[in-house]
Amino acid sequence: MGSISKSDKNIFEVKRIVQNLGTKESEKKQHNIRIAIQKINDLQLKPGQVFSFWHFVNFPTYKGGYLKSRAIQNNKILEEIGGGICQLSGLIYYLALHCNLEIIERHYHSIDIYKEEERFTPLGSDATVYFGYKDLVFINNQAVSFQFKLN
């Protein structure tokens, strides 16, 4: 499981977002997550600013470097371009909760596919995203700015 820390300057660092489970599927998911991380790493969220996962990450495409990986749609596990990036949205949601940021939109997965030791956030605190249908959106309702530092 990754670790989350908060520095004195409201910079949140998420370490070990993806674990190397040694499978081809895991490698594709890690690849997709790394691409999405590049889109939001060092992003500063100022007071009153709205964060939308899809606004910053954008639609995952082959041209954008994404690969097909495991995704959940309509209670089924399948492969889609950009599959696995909901692990990142789940971690961002978990951070937003801990910062007491105002959640505007969040969706949970339709099925639970993880064993307890594999969870990247506690059960029930995930946030799935599906471009055009499901987003993670929150507003920085605090008096300070926050910055994403993801690695």
What is the per-residue pLDDT across 120-137, written as a single tens digit (0 to 9) for each?
A: 565 566 787 888 888 999
Residues ≥6 apart with Cβ < 8 Å to 131: 54, 59, 60, 82
What is the per-residue pLDDT across 44-73, written as a single tens digit (0 to 9) for each?
A: 999 999 999 999 999 999 999 999 987 777
What is the per-residue pLDDT across 82-102, written as a single tens digit (0 to 9) for each?
A: 988 988 998 899 889 888 999
> What pTM was estimated for this model as a whole?
0.76
pLDDT of residue 98: 85
Half-sphere exposure of 43 (CA within 13 A, CB side): 19
Mean per-residue pLDDT of the chain: 78
pLDDT of residue 35: 95
Residues ≥6 apart with Cβ < 8 Å to 122: 94
Please give the tally of structural domains in the chain. Answer: 1
More confident residue, 10 or 117: 117
Cα–Cα distance, 138 to 55 (Å, whole number)? 12
pLDDT of residue 5: 42
Domain assignment of residue 125, given as a range: 3-150
- Under a CB-based contact definition with an 8 Å cutoff, are residues 104 and 65 in contact? no
* Alpha carbon 110 to its chain's center: 16
pLDDT of residue 47: 95
Mean pLDDT, rounded, for 99-126: 71
pLDDT of residue 87: 85
More confident residue, 38 or 18: 38
pLDDT of residue 6: 45
